[in-house]
């Protein structure tokens, strides 16, 4: 039961990173891929309502963490509470920008909301990067590894967003922002590969992580491989899949190689949580697939969000 519970938590966290990497990363890149009002509306329409289903995964992961892993939850909150507070602030700011953008018909209002989406997305990416670094080092440490690990995770978010934008920002007519996003995948994958290399090199310095060597080496090698594949001439065509694999690695690294505190899961609690989750998880998967299929392309006409 403990192994199944751990696998479930890892699945939910990795699933969230893969899915949220798309909308958070595209929000980070909005000033680059969308230069005018029409293109910004297209980007927002691509993000929403995709982000709603994505956040269900995070809520589910938080529920599993609190219900089945209270020791780990206490550790994460006690060690990383400033970063978690920033993460929540970025989450609220980004979502407020998405929800309120179409509520007022004014260019300045939409520009302010677009700024909230961009700022909130960068805050989310940076906060997740620092969270990953803090979990890998058993607490937030002021060290080169912390900075470089956070930078690498942010680059992975941006790469995932660029691949997402290349696929999702083409509407009824060809959109220039889709081409900009597609071209950006090669540059961003090279930047991410450099950041990962620097983070790995800094791991040997004071304040670096102490990880299980075999899982860490396998995952870092896999990450380097998918980033190298994305940085080549065929990178834009591969990026839909390679960017998802790349952003999954930080979550897997935390789950499989980090020195996380643990305690046996109480059997009564485990049975209660699993009885509730068994019918819910298939619905989450089916709902995510359904939502992705109906929102493959942003709406050509104005919607609730854009």
Q: 2-294 has which fold? A: Formate dehydrogenase/DMSO reductase fold (1.20.1630)
Name the residue ranges covered by the structural domains of the chain.
2-294
3-state secondary structure of 56: helix
DSSP string for 2-39: HHHHHHHHHHHHHHHHHHHHHHHHHHHTHHHH--SHHH
Contact 75, 260 (CB under 8 A): yes
Task: Enter the pTM of the model.
Answer: 0.93
Q: Which residues contact 229 (CB under 8 A, 6 or more apart)?
A: 235, 238, 242
* Rg, Å, the chain Cα set: 19
pLDDT value at residue 246 = 96
Structure token pair of residue 87: 């993460």
pLDDT value at residue 70 = 86
Measured from the Cβ of residue 290, the count of other Cβ atoms closer than 10 Å reads 11
Structure token pair of residue 110: 């939409």
Q: Which residues contact 149 (CB under 8 A, 6 or more apart)?
A: 129, 132, 133, 136, 199
pLDDT value at residue 192 = 96
pLDDT value at residue 290 = 78
- The tens-digit pLDDT sequence of the chain (306 residues) is 577 888 888 989 999 999 999 999 999 999 998 888 888 888 888 888 778 888 888 988 888 888 888 888 888 899 999 999 999 999 999 999 999 998 888 889 999 999 999 999 999 999 999 999 999 998 888 899 999 999 999 999 999 999 998 888 765 554 577 788 888 999 999 999 999 999 999 998 888 898 989 999 999 999 999 999 999 878 888 898 999 999 999 999 999 999 888 777 777 777 777 777 778 788 888 877 777 776 666 666 667 777
3-state secondary structure of 166: helix
Distance separating alpha carbons of residues 189 and 125, to the nearest angstrom:
16
């Amino acid at each position: 039961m403990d192994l199944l519970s751990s696998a479930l938590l890892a699945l939910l966290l990795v699933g969230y990173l893969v899915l949220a990497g798309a909308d958070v990363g595209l929000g980070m890149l909005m000033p680059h891929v969308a230069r005018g009002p029409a293109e910004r509306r297209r980007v927002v329409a691509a993000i929403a309502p995709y982000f709603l289903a994505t956040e269900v995964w995070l809520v589910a992961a938080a529920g599993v963490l609190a219900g089945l892993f209270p020791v780990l939850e206490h550790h994460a909150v006690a060690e990383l509470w400033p970063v978690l507070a920033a993460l929540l602030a970025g989450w609220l700011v980004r979502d407020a920008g998405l929800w309120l953008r179409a509520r007022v018909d004014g260019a300045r209002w939409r520009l302010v909301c677009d700024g909230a989406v961009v700022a909130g997305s960068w805050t989310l990416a940076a906060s997740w990067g620092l969270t990953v670094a803090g979990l890998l080092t058993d607490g937030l440490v002021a060290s080169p590894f912390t900075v470089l690990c956070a930078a690498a995770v942010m680059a992975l978010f941006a790469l995932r967003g660029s691949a997402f934008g290349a696929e999702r920002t083409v509407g009824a007519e060809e959109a220039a922002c889709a081409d900009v996003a597609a071209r950006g995948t090669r540059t961003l994958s090279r930047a991410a590969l450099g950041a990962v290399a620097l983070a790995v090199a800094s791991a040997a310095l004071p304040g670096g992580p102490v990880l299980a060597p075999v899982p860490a080496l396998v995952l870092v090698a896999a990450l380097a491989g998918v980033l190298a594949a994305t940085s080549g001439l065929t990178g834009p065509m591969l990026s839909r899949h390679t960017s998802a694999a790349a952003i999954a690695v930080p979550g897997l690294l935390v789950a499989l190689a980090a020195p996380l505190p643990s305690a046996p899961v109480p059997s009564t609690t485990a049975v209660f949580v699993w009885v509730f989750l068994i019918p819910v998880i298939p619905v989450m998967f089916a709902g995510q697939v359904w939502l992705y299929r109906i929102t493959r392309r942003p709406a050509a006409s104005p919607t609730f969000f854009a």
